[in-house]
Structure 1
């Protein structure tokens, strides 16, 4: 996973907006094996020239809820409402009527998980960038399997 705080990576990826991105970001809760299989399928699709949804997977619903708080979902929605890009984190903070530090922390965390990208153009401030038109959350809840456990009285 890349480090969103490194000074060299935004310049290295300054052409990020020029690259093709899938229209959909799929956020899931699934096991490591399922996430690995999804990743392998996505790599095969790219090899075949097919663009599949980007996928971010969490191991538990609790982990997903720690990252995708109401405040961060609002931040993602604000980026989507501006066609995925704003001039700076400061501009985003103003539009959300929130403090710079909390918005910076939220953007940095979302970038760490690959949901948002940070781009630096011509030495200007880091610009949050969300290339997706839609974000889909997929959470599957199942009951525990009592067939394998002996009943207790």
Structure 2
């Protein structure tokens, strides 16, 4: 089932396996302004035929750390290792020897932040990572006058 308005972005009504994805997902920590500039640069490069990684940005290192816990990184790594799609959340929980509810919550949170997708097949919800690699890109640098710390 697909949404009647197709803007090229995955939505809750489409199967994410039907969309093309780059091999790399970059996870960054950057200000909204920097993220906006990077997005505009990427659009220009894509228009010129250059491939670009997918990007998920967090405003602070603290926000990134709240989402990318060791257990959630383990879950993402497992999905990448099995070429992206698990049979079900139950299968992932069993394979990782974790409680179903916590894996379900982790999958939902990672999907809410664009780090994975959920394939809805009736009663079964299949976590899906379309990327071959996820690159965490966190830069720590000295602050210029008036800047806030990214650690907040």
TM-score higher than 0.5? yes
Residue of structure 2 in register with 1:71 after alignment? 71
CA distances 1:13-38 after superposition (whole Å, capped 9, x unpaired): 12x21321010000011111111112
1:35-58: CA deviation from partner (whole Å, max 9, x where unpaired) = 111222233344444431010111
Deviations 1:66-105 (A, max 9, x none): 1100010000001011101101111111111001110011
Aligned to 1:143: 142
Matches within 5 A, 1:40-119: 40-119=40-119
CA–CA separation in structure 2 for the residues paired with 1:74 and 1:37: 31
CA distance in 2, matches of 1:42, 1:69: 28
**2:20 match:** 20
Q: Corresponding residue for 1:35?
A: 35
Unmatched 5+ stretches in structure 2 = 1-10, 146-152
1:143, CA displacement in angstroms? 2.1
TM-score of the superposed pair, with normalisation by structure 2 = 0.82
> Which of structures 1 and 2 has the bigger CA Rg?
1
Q: Following TM superposition, where does structure 1 have runs of at least 4 consecutive aligned residues deviating by more than 4 angstroms?
A: none
The two structures have a TM-score, normalised by structure 1, of 0.81
Relative to total residues, which structure has the larger helix share, 1 or 2?
A: 1
